[in-house]
Amino acid sequence: MKIKEINIWNSNDPIIKEGKDFIPWMSVHKAENPNGKCVLVCPGGGYAGVCDSYEGEQFADFYNSFGVDACVLRYTTIETNHGKPVYPKPFVEATRAMRFIREYSQELGINCEKLGIQGFSAGAHLAGWVSTKFNDKLSHMDDLFHKVSARPDFAILCYGVLDLRLITPYGVTGVNLLGEGATDQEVDAYSNVENVTKDTPPTFLMHTQADQIVPVMNSVLYYKKMIENGVKGELHIFQPGPHGIGMGDREWIPEEEQKYLSFWSNNLKNWLLNMI
């Protein structure tokens, strides 16, 4: 596996990973035997930080093992935004990354006949946002906006914050995104379940019933909207498992639950290879 780190605004510019001068960037993980599919991975972290190890690089290795290229995005969070709400930066950066990968796939050395997006927790909110509002223009920075589509060919949403209203008062993810004083209308507008349409890409959802941080109904309601709009996909709900299970092997998960939860990635692999 070869890994390249790039500035998503200009691959020739330097990368600044932290501090007030942070510039969003992504690592490109190339499979040895690519099959034409690529995933942009958006790790979680409540829009406060980015959990890019077990919700990023570990999944890139997983995808590469069966021929899928992967790019792990490091987007703006409270940590790199002077403690201020981050709207609309993560969306602008994720859609830019989608367009960048498509436009410069040869330069990046990846094969992306089909490009999808994956997110975890708040990263799943971001991935769901891109999946449902990919045509929104929230910045004039992206010179590729009118040239390349940001619509994912497929999406993977893992224990996602897909309805900000299900976490009262719209949870740390919503506060970090929109601020303490967000109106009900703003919270509604950025609850992804409200924005699913027939143009939303095929989507794989995974959640656990035992999740006490992000209620499983986030995924259930999103899937319900998919069915109502004729969007293909799958919903996998596992009974045990706390929030943030990653591949199911995290140290905070009881050993007996790890053995059970580790199978979920096989479901994902099967879906990607046979349904996408």
pLDDT for 113 equals 93
Cβ–Cβ under 8 Å, residues 118 and 42: yes
Structure tokens at 265: 């990635």
Alpha helix segments (H runs only) across 72-216: 89-103, 105-108, 122-133, 171-178, 184-189
pLDDT for 234 equals 98
pLDDT for 67 equals 97
Q: What is the pTM of this model?
A: 0.97
Tell me, what DSSP letter sits at residue 148? S
Residues forming beta bridges with residue 27, ordered by sequence position: 5, 72
Task: Please provide residue 27's backbone torsions phi and psi, each rounded to the nearest 5 degrees.
Answer: -100, 135
pLDDT for 170 equals 57
pLDDT for 166 equals 84
Tell me, what DSSP letter sits at residue 257? H
Find the domain containing 266 and state its range.
Answer: 2-274
The Cβ of residue 238 has, within 10 Å, a number of other Cβ atoms equal to 20
In a 3-state reduction of DSSP, which class is residue 213? coil
pLDDT for 3 equals 84
Structure tokens at 132: 């449902």
The Cβ of residue 235 has, within 10 Å, a number of other Cβ atoms equal to 18
pLDDT for 171 equals 79
Q: Half-sphere exposure of residue 42, counting CA atoms within 13 Å on the CB side? A: 37
* CATH number of domain containing 249: 3.40.50.1820
Structure tokens at 22: 């942070």
Nearest to 205 by CA among 131, 113, 98, 95: 131
**Number of structural domains in the chain:** 1
What tens-digit pLDDT sequence spans the chain (276 residues)?
Answer: 568 999 999 999 999 998 889 999 999 999 999 999 999 999 999 999 999 999 999 999 999 999 999 999 999 999 999 999 999 999 999 999 999 999 999 999 898 899 999 999 999 999 999 999 999 999 999 999 999 999 999 999 999 999 998 865 457 899 999 999 899 999 999 999 999 999 999 999 999 999 999 999 999 999 999 999 999 999 999 999 999 999 999 888 998 899 899 999 999 999 999 999
Q: Give the model confidence (pLDDT) of 5-18 as tens digits.
A: 999 999 999 999 98
Q: Half-sphere exposure of residue 111, counting CA atoms within 13 Å on the CB side? A: 10
Structure tokens at 64: 């590469």
Strands 114-120 and 37-42: parallel
- The Cα–Cα gap between 106 and 101 comes to 9
Q: Give the model confidence (pLDDT) of 220-246 as tens digits.
A: 999 999 999 999 999 999 999 999 999
pLDDT for 1 equals 55
Element holding 25 (H helix, E strand): strand 25-30
The Cβ of residue 205 has, within 10 Å, a number of other Cβ atoms equal to 25
Peptide bond connecting 169 to the previous residue in cis, omega within 30 degrees of 0: yes
pLDDT for 19 equals 81
- The Cα–Cα gap between 247 and 50 comes to 16
The Cβ of residue 145 has, within 10 Å, a number of other Cβ atoms equal to 17
Tell me, what DSSP letter sits at residue 36? S
